[in-house]
Amino acid sequence: MLDALLTLVIVLLKIVALLVPLMVAVAYLTFAERKIIGYIQGRVGPLHVGPRGWLQPIADAVKLIFKEIIVPAGANRFLFLLAPLLAMGPSIAAWAVMPLGDNLYITDIDAGLLYVLAVTSLSVYGIIIAGWASNSKYALLGALRSAAQVVSYEIAMGFALVGVLLAAGSMNLREIVLSQEGSLLHWFWLPLLPLFVVYFIAGLAETNRAPFDLAEGESEIVAGFHVEYSGMSFGVFFLAEYANMILISMLTSLMFLGGWLSPFQGIPVLESLFSWVPGIVWLLLKTSFFLLLFLWIRATFPRYRYDQLMRLGWKILIPITIAWLLVVGAAVVGGLGPWFDGA
Amino acid sequence: MSFEQFIFYLFAAAMLGSAMMVITVRNTVHAALFLALTFFSAAALWLLLEAEFLAITLVLVYVGAVMVLFLFVVMMLDVNLAQLREGFVRLLPVGIVVALLAIGMMAYVVGPGNFGLGKFAEPTGHPADYSNTKELGRVLYTVYVYPFEIAAVILLVAIIAAISLALRKRPLTKHQNPDSQIAVRKKDRLRIVKLEAGTRQPINLEDKR
C-alpha cells in the first residue's frame, strides 16, 4: 500500500515537473510569436510590459483570468464550459509518453506512437462541442470546417507515421529515436523525406494553424468555433492550440530528426567537443526550430480556400504517403544502408 | 477489492450507465457524446485485458473518427422530438417484448454456457515484455491472413460502391477547377503597361481579348 502511494506521488511529481515548464513554454511561445511575426513584418512586437516586453505573456494571462466568462443565452451551459477542457485534456495527455531523453519520460509504453495518434485525434471534440454548444452560426460553421479538416488530415498523418513504424520497427517512441542512432544522415528525415514534409504539413492542419486556420477564418466567420468564448474559457482554447504546436514540433523532431541525439554524432572532432551537451538540449533546439517554422509559415502564407485545403489533403498528401510507404517497405526488405541494414 | 477490480467496476459502470443514457436522453447530440463515452470505457476495459492495441485503435477509429462524423451529421439535423415521442405508450408493450427477447438471447449467447470459466481459463497476467501489438500482428498475418485480406478487399469494394452511389454529374452547378487555377501563369492574367510620365496614352483594353 505504501509502495503504491509512493509510486503515485512520484508520478504526480513527474507530471508537475513536465507540465510547469510546458505551460511556461506555451506562455512564451505566444510572446515569441508576436515578436517574430513583428520582426518579419518590420514591426517590433510587444515592448512595454517589463524589460523589452518580457512580462507581456504574464500580463496577458492575468488579464484573461480576471475577465468575465460570458455564457450566451441560448447556449448549452454544461457543454459550453466542458468544451475548453476537452480541447486542453488531449494535448496534455499526449505528453505522458513523450521521451525527453534516454531515461527521461513519465511512462515508456510499447504502443506509444499509436497512443499519441489516438489521444490527439480526440482534441477535435473540444472544437466541435464548442461550436455546437455556443448556439451561434459562426461557431457552428467553424466547428464543421475544423472537424472535416482534422479528420481528413489525420489520414495523411497516420500514413506518415506508418512509414516511421516501418523504418524503426517499433511503436515505442524511445526505440524510434534509438534506431536513428549513428549520424545526422542516419536520422529518418533522409529516407522518409516525403513523409517528413507531409507529416509537418498535416501537423499544421491538425493544430488549425495558418495557412490552414479556416476553423478561425477571421475574415469570413469572425473567429470560428471560439467566437462566443471570453476570459479564461477562451484562454484555455488558446493554451491548447499552443500546447498542440509544441507537441507536434517535438514529435516531428523525435521521429524524423533523431530526438535527443547529437547532430555531431559520428563526426570525428566535433563529436567529442560537444559530448558534454545533455541530450534534452538538442531535443529542445530541434523542437524550437519547428516552432519557428510554424510562426514563419504563419507570417508568410495566405490562408487556403476550403476546397484547396481538401484537395491538398486527399488528392496530394495521401497519394504521396501511400507511394512512399511502398518505397520504404522495399528499402526495409532490401536492407538499404545505412538506415535499414542493421535489422 | 484489488486495484484492478476497482478500475474494472468503475469503467464497467461508466460504460453501462452511458450506454443507457445513449437511448434515454432526448438531445441527439448528448446521445452521440454518451456513445463516445461508452466506446471510451470499453477501451479502458480492453486495456485491463492487456489488449492495448485494440483499446487504442478503438479510441482512434471509433471515438476519434467515426463518432466525429456522427456528431457532424447529428448537429446538422433538425430533429423534431415531439414527433419522435409520438405513440410511445401505444408501442410500449411491443417494445418491452422485443427488449426482453433481445436480453434473453444475449444472456444465452454471452452467458456462462458459452463463455463461462468452464469453457475458458481465467486470464492470467502476461510477463512485462509481452506486446499485444506484436502478438496480434503475428496471428493476423499468419493464421488469419486470408480472412484479413478478404475483409480488406470487401471494405475497399464498399468504399468504391459508396463513392459511386454518391457521385453524380451535376451539370447545373458551377465549380472551380483547381488544376487550371494552379496552372495560371503571370502572363495569362497580367499585362504591364508602360506609361510615359506627363503624357496621356489611350489604353486599349480590347487588344488582348
Residues B133, A115: C-beta atoms closer than 8 Å? no
Residue B97 C-alpha, separation from nearest chain A C-alpha, in angstroms:
36
The percent of residues in chain A predicted with pLDDT above 70, rounded, is: 98
Residues B178, A308: C-beta atoms closer than 8 Å? yes
- In one-letter notation, the amino acid at residue B187 is K
Measured between its terminal Cα atoms, the distance across chain A in Å is 43
Residues 278-307 on A with a CB inside 8 Å of B are 307
Query: Are A119 and B55 contacting, i.e. CB atoms less than 8 angstroms apart?
Result: no
Residue A101: phi and psi, rounded to 5, are -175, 180
Residues B56, A140: C-beta atoms closer than 8 Å? no
- Burial class from Cβ neighbours inside 10 Å (0-12, 13-18, 19+) for residue A243 reads buried
pLDDT single digits (tens) B158-181: 999 998 998 877 778 787 777 788
pLDDT single digits (tens) A22-38: 888 998 898 989 889 99
At A313, list the grid cell: 489533403
Grid look-up 496621356 returns B200
For residue B14, what pLDDT is reported?
Answer: 92
Residues A151, B69: C-beta atoms closer than 8 Å? yes
Angle, helix A112-121 to helix A137-168, in steps of 10 degrees: 170
Q: CA-CA distance, B185 to A49, in Å (whole number)?
A: 47
Query: Are A151 and B65 contacting, i.e. CB atoms less than 8 angstroms apart?
Result: yes
pLDDT single digits (tens) A213-251: 877 767 777 777 787 888 888 888 888 889 889 999 998
Residues A121, B64: C-beta atoms closer than 8 Å? yes
At B108, list the grid cell: 444465452
> Which of A5, A85, A109, A110 should be substituted to probe chain B, the one whose Cβ sees the most B Cβ atoms within 10 Å?
A110
ipTM: 0.78
pLDDT single digits (tens) A174-214: 888 888 877 777 788 878 888 899 999 998 888 888 788 87
Give the C-alpha distances (Å, rounded to integers) separating A164 from A181, A321, B14, B141, B154: 14, 11, 36, 20, 27
Average pLDDT, chain B: 82
Query: Are A199 and A31 contacting, i.e. CB atoms less than 8 angstroms apart?
Result: no
Task: For chain B, give the longest Cα–Cα distance.
Answer: 103
- Burial class from Cβ neighbours inside 10 Å (0-12, 13-18, 19+) for residue A38 reads middle
For residue A223, what pLDDT is reported?
Answer: 73
Residues A121, B60: C-beta atoms closer than 8 Å? yes
Asked whether residue B207 carries a pLDDT value surpassing 60, the answer given is: no
- Burial class from Cβ neighbours inside 10 Å (0-12, 13-18, 19+) for residue A253 reads buried
- Burial class from Cβ neighbours inside 10 Å (0-12, 13-18, 19+) for residue B64 reads buried
Angle at A310 between CA A305 and CA A316, to 5 degrees: 115
The secondary structure of chain B as a DSSP string is: --HHHHHHHHHHHHHHHHHHHHHH-S-HHHHHHHHHHHHHHHHHHHHHTT-HHHHHHIIIIIIIIIHHHHHHHHHH----HHHHTTTHHHHHHHHHHHHHHHHHHHHHHHSHHHHSTTTSPPP-PPPTT--HHHHHHHHHHTTTHHHHHHHHHHHHHHHHHHHHHH----TTS----HHHHHH--HHHH-------TT------TTTT-
**In this complex, is the C-beta atom of A151 within 8 Å of any C-beta atom belonging to chain B?**
yes
The region that residue B183 occupies, defined by phi over 0 for left and psi between -120 and 50 for alpha, beta otherwise, is: alpha
Query: Are A259 and A283 contacting, i.e. CB atoms less than 8 angstroms apart?
Result: yes
Average pLDDT, chain A: 84
pLDDT single digits (tens) A302-331: 888 888 888 888 888 899 999 998 988 888
Residues A4, B3: C-beta atoms closer than 8 Å? yes
Asked whether residue B95 carries a pLDDT value surpassing 90, the answer given is: no
pLDDT single digits (tens) B6-51: 888 999 999 999 998 888 887 888 888 899 899 989 998 888 888 8
At A338, list the grid cell: 545505412
Q: Where are the beta strands (DSSP E) in A160-261?
A: none
**In this complex, is the C-beta atom of B37 within 8 Å of any C-beta atom belonging to chain A?**
no
A83: nearest CA partner in chain B: B33
The helix/strand/coil state of A101 is strand
